[in-house]
Structure 1
Amino acid sequence: MKLLMLCREPRLYSCQRLKEAAESCGHQMDILDPNRFMLKLSEKPPHFDLYYQPNHEAEPYLLPDYDAVLPRFGAASTQMGCAVLQHFQAKGVACLNDVEPFLKARDKWRSLQILVQHGIGVPPSLLAGSETRAKESLELIGSPTILKTLSGSQGIGVILAESRSSASSIIETLNHSGVSVLMQKFISEAQGGDIRCFVIGTEVIATMERKGQAGEFRANIHRGGSAVPVRLSKQEKQIALSASQALGLDVAGVDLIRSSEGLLVLEVNASPGLEMIEKTSGLDIALQMILYLERKIRTKPNHNTTAR
């Protein structure tokens, strides 16, 4: 089969591993930057055309048919990346995470609302309108406070405000810049750690516990955190699985945090990294993703793999 990965950085570990896994299964995989696409709508079939311009000097060319698409683009490319993904979906191409679930997961506040609607516990969270005062908002959520921009990944856009005065100053600055921010209660008992669950379909494939480096409250590997394998109970794994399914994702990285009330879902990542989870678990997760994608293609109504 001919597969396409939407990613701006083909050299990333996750991209290279997925390409290797696809080729080991006999598939061909292209890796293209979603920001270099040109999408065309026309009144005559096939209605949805996709062109690609490799660089500013090159002429755009019409892309061939693909059997499936893997979205692996970052938060900064969400708008165009999802527009490209929608175009492929409209053409009937299988996607390893459809566009609507992907968009839900990328919006931190919307995803939290959906999780709570499905009875899944999250840290106390608050989103305030631009015409409200930070002081009153902070009284509702408490201090210390975690402040998060509504989009972002790898720990970027996440701030710990130790006092209400510092939190208020940060919120006012962000609001003045037109950046919406959600507030969450800081779960001190987590001690700067969280649990990453890697979900594929209806199974939690791997779990690891991440710890932030000294003086760092974020446990993300990109912020210098470390990870060790961790065993979760069947009930605890079900929390991660339920979170992924509530958003409708095929593949998800679900981040859990231990609190005095039990495990809570911090957030759900629709494009989770593979490097640390593969190295920590010793599992070939990239291959599991490709095998799952193969099954999705086979079960897709009226699927028709492109001829080679």
Structure 2
Amino acid sequence: MKLLMLCREPRLYSCRRLKQAAEENGHHMDILDPNRCLIKLQQNPPHFALYYQPDVESTPYLLPQYDAVLPRFGTGSMQMGCAVLHYFQALNVPCLNHADAFAKARDKWLSLQLLLANGIAVPTSLLGGLETKANDAVQHIGTPIILKTLSGSQGIGVVLAEQPQSAVSMLETLKQANVPTLAQEFIAEAQGADLRCFVVGERIVAAMQRIGQRGEFRANCHRGANAEKVILTEQEKHIALNATKALGLDVAGVDLIRSANGPLVLEVNASPGLEMIEKTSGIDIALQMILYLEQKHC
């Protein structure tokens, strides 16, 4: 197959691993920045055309036909990345994941709503408009409280406020800066740890437990967390698979937290990183993704 990965940074571990796995399976893979794409729509056939401009000095060139697409773009490429995915979906080219599912997962608030609507437990959360009082939002959740910007990733844009005064001050500052933010209950009993479940198709291919550094409530590996192998309970497996299905994703990194009332879904990542979980689990996840993409193409 001729594969396309949509990614702004081909040097990332995940991109290099997926390209390696594709080539070892006899496929060719291009890695292109969606923000450098030009989509042309026209009345006369062909109705769709996709061009690529490597740099501002270059003339855009027509891209070839691709057999399948892997989206690996971040929040800075969401609009154009999803537009390119819609382009390929209109041509019935398999995409791992589809544009609508990708967008749902990237919207932290919408994804929480969809999860809860599908019977999947999430932490108590609150989203307030810019004209609402920060004090009321904090009182509804209580302290300690987690504040999350809707566009953050890798633990960036997530803060813990332990006292009401500091929580109100942080929320007021974010509102003043016009940064949409949700408030969420703090699960103290998790002790700075969470679970990452890597789902491909309808299977959990790998899992790990992430443990935050001493004094750090975030369990993201980019924030220095340690990772170790973990055995998921049947309930946790069921929740991770249902969360992936609820958002319509083919591939997902489902983050769970073990609370006193059972597992809760913190977030579902549509473009989960491979490095830490491959090294922790010893599983070739990149290969699993390529094999699944082969099945979708058939």
User: TM-score when scaled to structure 1?
Assistant: 0.95
**In structure 2, what is the equivalent of residue 268 of structure 1?**
268
**In structure 1, what is the equivalent of residue 136 of structure 2?**
136
Amino acid at match of 1:145: I
SS in 1 for 2:214: coil
Amino acid at match of 1:216: E
Amino acid at match of 1:217: F
1:51 and 2:45 equivalent?
no
**In structure 2, what is the equivalent of residue 159 of structure 1?**
159
Amino acid at match of 1:269: N
**In structure 2, what is the equivalent of residue 212 of structure 1?**
212
**In structure 2, what is the equivalent of residue 222 of structure 1?**
222
Q: Aligned-pair distance for 1:26?
A: 0.5
The Cα RMSD (Å) is 0.8
Q: Distance in 1 between matches of 2:297 and 2:281?
A: 27
1:108 and 2:142 equivalent?
no
SS in 2 for 1:94: coil
**In structure 2, what is the equivalent of residue 170 of structure 1?**
170
Q: Distance in 1 between matches of 2:68 and 2:165?
A: 50
1:184 and 2:184 equivalent?
yes
Q: Distance in 2 between matches of 1:7 and 1:219?
A: 25
Q: Aligned-pair distance for 1:270?
A: 0.1
1:243 and 2:243 equivalent?
yes
Q: Distance in 1 between matches of 2:169 and 2:12?
A: 36
1:76 and 2:76 equivalent?
yes
* CA deviation vs aligned residue, 1:93-135 (integer Å, no higher than 9, x gap): 1100000110000000000000000000000000111111010
Q: Distance in 2 between matches of 1:142 and 1:80?
A: 39
Q: Aligned-pair distance for 1:165?
A: 1.2
Structure 1, unmatched stretches of 5+, are: 299-308
Structural mapping, 1:283-302, within 5 Å? 283-298=283-298
* CA deviation vs aligned residue, 1:160-193 (integer Å, no higher than 9, x gap): 1111211111111111111110000000001011
Q: Distance in 2 between matches of 1:228 and 1:201?
A: 24
Q: Percent identity?
A: 68
Q: Which moved more, 1:162-171 or 1:17-26?
A: 162-171
Structural mapping, 1:77-92, within 5 Å? 77-92=77-92
SS in 1 for 2:9: coil
**In structure 2, what is the equivalent of residue 40 of structure 1?**
40
1:259 and 2:259 equivalent?
yes
Q: Distance in 2 between matches of 1:48 and 1:130?
A: 40
SS in 2 for 1:58: coil
Q: Distance in 2 between matches of 1:182 and 1:45?
A: 46
Q: Distance in 1 between matches of 2:46 and 2:114?
A: 35
Q: Distance in 1 between matches of 2:194 and 2:138?
A: 24
Q: Distance in 2 between matches of 1:103 and 1:128?
A: 21
Runs of 4+ in 1 over 3 A off after TM superposition: none
Q: Aligned-pair distance for 1:46?
A: 2.5
Q: Distance in 2 between matches of 1:226 and 1:151?
A: 24
SS in 1 for 2:121: coil
Q: Distance in 2 between matches of 1:287 and 1:230?
A: 21
Structure 2, unmatched stretches of 5+, are: none
Q: Which moved more, 1:2-11 or 1:84-93?
A: 84-93
Q: Distance in 1 between matches of 2:291 and 2:170?
A: 45
Q: Distance in 2 between matches of 1:291 and 1:187?
A: 37
Amino acid at match of 1:75: T
User: TM-score when scaled to structure 2?
Assistant: 0.98
SS in 2 for 1:30: strand
* CA deviation vs aligned residue, 1:251-299 (integer Å, no higher than 9, x gap): 000000010101000000000000011001101000000000010111x
